């Protein structure tokens, strides 16, 4: 359960079955994700999920996932969508270095003809790296790019909205002891839209210390 400064509460539950075959692993499952916003019930996301994973060797793993679902909004029927997502991921392991790259496609189709401007398709590329220097130092980086195209004309700007989103994150952790650790985080976001209202740039840098007991 998560609660943010915007008083948003989310509970996510899932159930899946994994079957191992001679050459690959396969899974099927369902998930349910309700959301409360500002104390009121807001929406429910439900989906059926299936996936396949292939261990090529000790260094390479390839997987694919398919999800079919619906988003039902309690506050506004115009926001209800039928959802489809497909992703392919490749992982590479070498020593203390881990790489993963994925491409994904998400389609959200409005259930009402009057709200086709809420329909959208998203194409996303992600690249992640994790490097464990030794028992004390850990470095992780993530690079993402996404293009989101909306299905209909924006109701106020009367044009089709297209957004390009870029994000880079990195984290450097130093573990002083089993209890104490320090983290330096950096986050860079750049959203470019043909509707200038939705464009922005954001940079966050933070240094934290944590104590576990």
Q: What is the pLDDT of residue 213?
A: 72
Q: What is the pLDDT of residue 210?
A: 86
Q: What is the pLDDT of residue 5?
A: 52
134-163 b/e (C-beta count within 10 Å ≥ 16 → b): eeeebebebbbebebebbbeeeeeeeebeb
Q: Which residues pair with 192 in a beta bridge?
A: 164
By C-alpha distance, which of 200, 138, 134 is closest to 166?
200
What's the predicted TM-score (pTM) here? Answer: 0.83
Q: What is the pLDDT of residue 20?
A: 92
Q: What is the pLDDT of residue 1?
A: 44
Which residues are CB-contacts of 151 (< 8 A; sequence separation ≥ 6)? 109, 110, 116, 117, 118, 119, 120, 121
Q: What is the pLDDT of residue 74?
A: 85
Query: In the structure encoding, which two tokens stand for residue 159, read together?
Result: 């044009």
Q: Which residues pair with 104 in a beta bridge?
A: 87, 124
Q: What is the pLDDT of residue 37?
A: 80
Element containing residue 33 per DSSP (H, E) = strand 25-37
Q: What is the pLDDT of residue 6?
A: 62
CA 83 to chain CA centroid, nearest Å: 15
- Mean pLDDT in order along the chain per 10 residues (213 residues): 63 92 94 86 92 93 96 86 96 92 95 86 96 90 96 86 96 88 95 93 93 77
Q: Which CATH number fits domain 76-211: 2.40.160.40, 3.40.50.970, 2.60.120.260, 3.60.20.10?
A: 2.40.160.40
Q: What is the pLDDT of residue 190?
A: 97
């Amino acid at each position: 359960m998560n609660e943010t400064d915007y008083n948003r509460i989310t509970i996510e539950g899932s159930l899946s079955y994994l079957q191992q075959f001679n050459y690959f692993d396969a899974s099927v499952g369902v998930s349910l994700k309700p959301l409360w916003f500002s104390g009121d019930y807001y929406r429910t996301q439900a989906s059926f999920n299936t996936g396949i994973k292939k261990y090529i060797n000790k260094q390479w793993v390839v997987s694919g996932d398919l999800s079919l679902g619906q988003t039902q909004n309690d506050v506004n029927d115009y926001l209800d969508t039928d959802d489809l997502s497909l992703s392919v991921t490749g992982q590479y392991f070498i020593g203390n270095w881990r790489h993963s790259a994925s491409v994904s496609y998400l389609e959200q189709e409005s259930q009402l003809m009057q709200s086709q401007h809420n329909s959208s398709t998203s194409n996303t590329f992600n690249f992640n790296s994790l490097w464990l220097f030794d028992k004390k130092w850990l470095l992780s980086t993530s690079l993402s790019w996404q293009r989101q195209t909306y299905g209909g004309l924006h109701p106020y700007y009367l044009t089709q909205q297209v957004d390009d989103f870029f994000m880079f994150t990195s984290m450097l952790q130093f573990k002083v002891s089993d209890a104490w650790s320090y983290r330096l985080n950096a986050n860079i976001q750049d959203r470019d839209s043909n509707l200038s209202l939705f464009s922005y740039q954001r940079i966050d840098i933070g240094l934290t210390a944590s104590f576990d007991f």
